[in-house]
Amino acid sequence: MAEEYTGAGADRTAGADRTVAPAALRIDIVTVLPDMFAGPFDHSLIRRARDAGIVDLRVHDLRRWAHDRHRTTDDYAFGGGGGMVMKPEPLFEAVEAILGIEPLRAGDARVPPCPVVMMTPQGRRFDHGLARELAGQERLVVLAGHYEGFDERVRMHLATHEVSIGDFVVTGGEIPAMLLVDAVARLRPGVVGLATATDTDSFAAGRIEHPHYTRPAEFRGWRVPDVLLSGHHGEVERWRRREGLRRTWERRPDLLDGLALTDEERTWLAAWRADARGDA
């Protein structure tokens, strides 16, 4: 029986060579393709978060909970039609075993003790607000589906959240699960070096982030805005706030609805809108 993936290469035992902090966020991913997670989660911030014990990440092979000799996790849909459907038995048994809970049955009022996130194109659109909500949990279970999706009983009686990364279809739920885990993990304290780094990310404050520049100050005739070279921190901050708002208005005006704006920001918006209309 295969063991859950927890690290690169031959490291396939839970918690091997890793220190898990008491306050670590534990994330369990259930998938039929556990090896897909080796590369993305063994590099960059996620790797450092795992090594530091801030995130305890475990990837489980769903086939462990399949009982036939072929380790089948999908079957034909009742009623006919094309495509296969993810079977309920392995998924329920996997989540119950991972969480250490008794089997869930019809008429049972119990629900899983932590979020069980189903990756599905039918779900709630994943955004920064949902990432923050999930990052505030102590534990998550993420289900990566395939084929025509999950048996409806998984959706109704096992999953607590249904999440989509956008209005498009991909081969399976593994890459969406990776995106969700990356977005959630980086919001845990200590993962990103400065707390302000996540607070000022695009969408963190409900708006798109300002433009960024680095050296050289001039490249092929394109020069960095003078204000960024001025050393005047107040003016730099004002420029960043204005340009972030301008970019939000130009690219994602829907984000402006309900956004708390200062009087100065409302003046900027009014001027840009007047220019766009060609007002004198």
Residues with active-site annotation = 121, 148, 186, 201
Comparing C-alpha atoms, which of 223, 189, 217 is closest to residue 23? 189
Q: What letter represents residue 259's amino acid?
A: L
To the nearest 10 degrees (0 to 180), the angle between helices 44-51 and 174-185 is: 60
Q: Which H or E run includes 276?
A: helix 263-277
Q: Spell 34-59 as b/e; 16+ CB within 10 A means b.
A: bebbbebbeeeebbebbeebbbbbbb
DSSP 8-state code for residue 133: H
Distances (CA, A) of 144 to 36, 68, 121, 201, 269: 11, 21, 11, 27, 42
